[in-house]
Chains A and B, each alone.
Chain A
Amino acid sequence: MRIQKTFEKGNVLTIYFTAGYPKLEDTMPILIALQEAGTDIVEIGMPFSDPIADGETIQESSKIALENGMHIEKLFTQLKNMRPQIHIPVFLMGYLNPVMQFGIENFLAQAQACGVDGLILPDLPLDIYEQDFRELFEKYNMANVFLISPLTSEQRIKKADSLSSGFLYVLSDSATTGKTSDQSFSKKQVEYFERVRALNLKNPLQIGFGISQRKDFEAALQYAEGAIIGSAFIRHIAKSQNLSVDIQTFVQKIKQTVLS
């Protein structure tokens, strides 16, 4: 419900940050500041030692978060009382191995108890989800988001859409996280967005990877219901002395013109 309502408003800004970074106990303060600043959805990254889909920024934030002592049980302790103070949708994103070690059912139960809305596990294969995980996700009322890339076939896009709930994660490029470029999107990328758009999928679309500034966000909204910013946000708070002020500035800068 929370997710659906958020997408009804449109122009969805989703921000990703790594749990336990810059400091172990920053998870809740960042979440609160993001909500206050007007972020529509938050993705909380669960750090992993070997994040192969991530560029340097998230590799570094993950490494520091782990050194700070972040782990899944700790994260659930931090998020235990987030509702009802936090009213925006919250997703957890991470690699499969730590979740598997925690135990998938236990993980889903605890995530649900915290009021987490959905999961994004980029290395969870579609068919394994369908065979082994789907029923459990439904049992715990947990949304599950799959990713598609410019090289994903039409048939597979449809399958990812049918197995996803909440939204579909549209990677802007085949790339690791954190790449930036002067021009928001190339002609090829735009063609791909339009191709996906034309499939009339059941889920709202969010474009992610390589979105770092206002003009990228605006450009993405021409083809999708929302866009996701990760590395640029993490770089912004890396040396922050005042998280709530810096987060306010960052989010407002992104959202400004879109609202006018």
Chain B
Amino acid sequence: MTYQVNEKGFYGKFGGAYIPEMLYPNIESLRNQYLEIIAKPEFQRDFNALLSDYVGRPTPLYFSKNMSAQYNCKLYLKREDLNHTGAHKINNTIGQILLARYLGKEKIIAETGAGQHGVATATVCALMNMDCIVYMGKVDTERQQANVARMRMLGAKVVAVTSGSQTLKDATNEAMRHWINHPEDTHYIIGSVVGPHPYPDMVARFQSVISKEIKSQLLKKEGRENPDAVIACVGGGSNAAGGFYHFLENQSVRLIAAEAAGLGVSTGKSAATTALGKDGILHGSRTLLMQTDDGQVIEPYSISAGLDYPGIGAMHAHLFDSRRADFYAITDEEAMESGLALSATEGIIPAIETAHALSVLDKVNFKPQDIVVIILSGRGDKDLETYSQYLNDKEAKR
């Protein structure tokens, strides 16, 4: 069995390109060209140069001494939070903006939840002098104000989306509508391994630098390339896809994904897609989807804007379905506590999305000799208000 995409754009039964005809020409031209463009030596040269000199890669693989002692295993943190703009998202936007230029596109659109992908897109657009519009749910513009301000400074137009639950799903709908109406001059930089083929595979390839670096870094530090486990949070699943990528076919590496349980899987206020979802189609992809019996998409909920999505990338739906990866549902409270704990024990303030991955340590027992890599997908600067609010509430309760 392979866990990579097949030539028709499917991971097992998931994936594909279920799109209205208006999107077809753009998707078709991407599909026909993305592999060829990415393989070009000039593309690789530009991509790698920007990743090293602009983004600051490779990111450190940090041995977390304090937490290793606490959890009695060898814990490494892959520091994607140290990337320029503060998260893994920029690995993908650098790749896609270069690709957009090969495709002859002049304008860029993007959706964003936490605002990290929006910021990463606005950043590369500033760098390449391209027009940028970012669609963001109105609820998210309110809970991630710092990122809205950053996008504006970077010259992007931020459109607050007021349909549906006013979060990531609705921002994605609106970006797709924009693309339908502006097919010729515009490229849509999707921010995760979601959407129609070839997006999931393309985004996974750009993010795969994460596991590529882990391999060579581990070899130096531990004398072996493969860890025993990799843990990542999953919204759409791009940091997880990048962290898993080079270990997918190696069954000795345990893959663990953390999804957002919100207030709890059975509270009706959750975004735990594998726990609550069924086979369905959203945003051009067949995947696991939170939906009613009538096939209407259920509005998800999570404290973290970046995980507040009713589906997951098709690759992850397949990893779940084939039991290659284990999925854990982490509540808001568990994530917040893990975020505070990492700050206090290691001096690293993680994004709330990322904090979900850390909570897995409280649910899985590792052996002392196990090497466990956690993808530290982003930093918590954007979440300071939510963290302070949480601390205030906690103190008030005492």
Known: A122-B21, A171-B21, A175-B181. Is A100-B163 also a contact (CB below 8 A)?
no
A149 adjacent to chain B (CB < 8 Å): yes
Residues 172-184 of B, flagged 1 when their CB comes within 8 A of A and 0 if not, give: 0100110011011
Checking B25, B291, B293 against A151 with a beta-carbon cut-off of 8 angstroms, the contacting residue is: B25
CB of A49 within 8 A of CB of B296, answer: yes
In this complex, how many residues of chain A approach chain B with their Cβ under 8 Å: the count is 40
CB of B164 within 8 A of CB of A49, answer: yes
B204 adjacent to chain A (CB < 8 Å): no
B17 adjacent to chain A (CB < 8 Å): yes
A-B pairs under 8 A by CB, number:
105
CB of A102 within 8 A of CB of B295, answer: yes
A85 adjacent to chain B (CB < 8 Å): no
Question: How many Å from the CB of A96 to the closest CB on chain B?
Answer: 5
> Which residue on B lies nearest to A60, using beta carbons?
B163
CB of B281 within 8 A of CB of A52, answer: no
User: In the complex, what residues of A have CB within 8 A of residue B163's CB?
Assistant: 59
Give bound CA distance, A111 to B90, whole Å: 48
User: In the complex, what residues of A have CB within 8 A of residue B20's CB?
Assistant: 52-53, 122-123, 147
What secondary structure prevails in chain A residues at the interface with B? loop
- Contact size class for B? 20 to 34
Give bound CA distance, A16 to B278, whole Å: 30
Residues 218-235 of B, flagged 1 when their CB comes within 8 A of A and 0 if not, give: 000000000000000000
CB of B22 within 8 A of CB of A53, answer: yes
Known: A97-B291, A98-B296, A146-B21. Is A125-B180 also a contact (CB below 8 A)?
no
User: In the complex, what residues of B have CB within 8 A of residue A48's CB?
Assistant: 295-296
User: In the complex, what residues of A have CB within 8 A of residue B164's CB?
Assistant: 49-50
B16 adjacent to chain A (CB < 8 Å): yes
A95, A100, A123: most-surrounded residue (chain B CB, <10 A): A123
CB of B25 within 8 A of CB of A149, answer: yes
A–B pairs, 12, beta carbons within 8 Å? A50-B173, A50-B283, A52-B180, A53-B180, A66-B296, A96-B18, A100-B281, A128-B18, A149-B25, A151-B25, A160-B21, A176-B180
Residues of A at the B interface (CB closer than 8 Å) are: 48-55, 59, 66, 71-73, 95-102, 122-125, 128, 146-149, 151-153, 156, 160, 171, 174-176, 179
